Copies of this chain bind each other. A is one copy, B any other.
Amino acid sequence: MATNHEETKRKRRRIALVGGTGDLGLGLAARLARAYDVTVGSRDAARAAEAAAEASRLSGVRVEGAENVEAARASDIAVLAIPSLPSDDVLDSLKPAVAGKLVVSPIVPMEVRDGLFSAPPAASSAAERVASVLATRVAAAFHTVPAARLLEVGRALDYDVLVTADTRAVYDEAAAVVSSIPGLRPLYAGPLRNSRMVEEMTPNLLNVGKLNGIKHPSIRVV
Mark A residues whose CB is within 8 Å of B: 116, 118-119, 121, 123, 158-159, 162, 187-191, 193-194, 196-198, 200-201, 203-205, 207-209, 211-212, 214, 217-222
Contacts and interface: CB of A to CB of B under 8 A. Distances in A.
**Number of copies of chain A assembled together:** 2
A204 B197 contact: yes
A198 B204 contact: yes
A132 to B, nearest CB: 18
Contacts of A214: 187, 221
B207 A218 contact: no
A121 B118 contact: no
Contact of A189 (B191, B211, B218): B211
A211 B191 CA distance: 11
Nearest to A158: B222
A209 B190 CA distance: 11
30 contacts: A116-B191, A116-B194, A118-B197, A121-B123, A123-B123, A162-B204, A187-B208, A187-B211, A187-B212, A187-B214, A188-B208, A189-B204, A190-B211, A194-B204, A194-B207, A196-B200, A197-B200, A197-B201, A197-B207, A198-B204, A200-B200, A201-B201, A201-B204, A208-B221, A214-B221, A217-B222, A219-B219, A219-B220, A219-B221, A220-B220
